[in-house]
Amino acid sequence: MSTISEKTLAHASGQETTKTGDFVKAKVDVALNHDVTSVLAFEAMREMGSNRVWDPDKVVMILDHVAPPSSVNSARVHNVIRDFVREQGIMNFFDVNSGVCHQVLPEHGFVKPGMVVIGADSHTCTHGAFGAFASGVGSTDMGAVLARGKTWLRVPETIKVDVNGKLDRHVHAKDVILAIAKEIGVSGATYMALEYHGETVSDLSVAGRMTLCNMAIEMGGKTGICEPDDKTIKWLDHCTGGPYNKVYADEDANYKRVLNLDVTGMEPQVACPHNVDNVKPVSELSKVKINQAFIGSCTNGRLEDLRQAHEVLKDKTVHPDVRVLAVPASKAIFKAAIKEGIIEDFIDAGVTVSNPSCAACFGGHIGLLGPGEKGIATSNRNFRGRQGSPEAEVYLSSAAVAAASALTGYISHPEVVQ
């Protein structure tokens, strides 16, 4: 009668079983840190009386949010992290230009099914796409993880999200998760796990499943998770190796709620300002004029996203009133996109291509919106002030819709330009 989360946390806490609401002290398999939250975590670790991390081989440090630094303070923070990495003997360090932490972590083989992955970033839930229990914590909790290698967790209730139906052309994983967010709401899954099931999820690539899990937090979720299958193992075998502790939900698992979603005939979806659950079909937004399109982030900066945008943009020129920014999620993705000719075609179309980083997503670096401007982005959040001015508006979409909108100057269905 157990969910994936209940089974995984039982194993991590040395128990035979756990149930919803139990508090457990779980062993952490991977501790993920990045430049915005790391220094506070280091300070918390030391305030707890520890001068050394519990296991330097299980700590991963990635500079991605403001990379390269755009201010003197950011540069100072990066140097504090570099000093800490040297002091602690942490070999798993990825400096600027490596990419977004949630892409770099699995690409380098740090995530496997059945693991407990804790990161000082809310979108750590992305790694549930590989069958891990992955969750974000604050810097103080991360300080405790660095010191002890364990963390307190309450075993979450689980919402089963059963998605079925075939996706139409130009409808992608981002559209699926936006449709789910509309149904559940921005707080409808607070401290719950979202378990994704159904034929649509099985048909998605691993990259698409990462998009689903990534945005579990946008509904308040503690984690998002998919059961590992042959696609998962094939993906992992390219960057790591078994054995894999594959965890599956029992057929009679006890769920807080079951959401059944049929995506047959669904058109592309767009989240409108200023909440992720304010979702409308793209056809209702054709009069919304945009100033910027951002293609990237830990949600949709992967190779398949760049390919979706490329399919729309190739041999065309972006609208003269629109700034377009494309940011691959990792160095490996950047190189693959160059090899496929995607980057050259982007540049020819008028797109600004930047180094792998979080970029415009959280408004801490390049690509910010000014007062009164409207932007469409493939990232995960659109609350007021997220990507620049609090007087700007952000719409969220797939890469295909963002690319089409970049061509027309208005939020557009890709079929309009093809």
What is the value of pTM for the model shown?
0.94
pLDDT digits (tens, 9 = 90+) for 382-394: 988 888 889 999 9
Average pLDDT for 92-113: 96
Q: Which helix (H) or strand (E) holds 142?
A: helix 139-148
The CATH T-level fold of domain 4-242+254-261 is Aconitase; domain 3 (3.30.499)
pLDDT at 105: 97
Q: Please, how many CA atoms are within 13 Å of residue 380, restricted to the half-sphere of its CB?
A: 26
pLDDT at 181 over 90: yes
Domain 270-417 sits in CATH at 3.30.499.10
Span(s) in the chain for CATH 3.30.499.10: 4-242+254-261, 270-417
- Residue 148 burial class via C-beta count within 10 angstroms: exposed 0-12, middle 13-18, buried 19 and up: middle
With cut-offs at 50, 70 and 90, classify the pLDDT of residue 358: confident
| Angle formed by the axes of helices 206-214 and 230-237, nearest 10° | 100
More confident residue, 417 or 49: 49
Backbone angles phi, psi at 18, to 5 degrees: -135, 165
Mean pLDDT, range 345-365, rounded to an integer = 91
Q: Which amino acid is at 46?
A: R
Model pLDDT, residue 159: 98
CB atoms within 10 A of CB 56: 14
Alpha-carbon span 373 to 394, nearest angstrom? 9
Residue 285 structure tokens: 């937004």
Token readout for 60 is 């991963």
pLDDT tens, position by position, 207-234: 999 999 999 999 999 999 999 999 999 9
pLDDT in tens, 228-261: 999 999 999 999 988 999 999 999 999 999 999 9
What pLDDT was estimated at residue 404?
A: 98
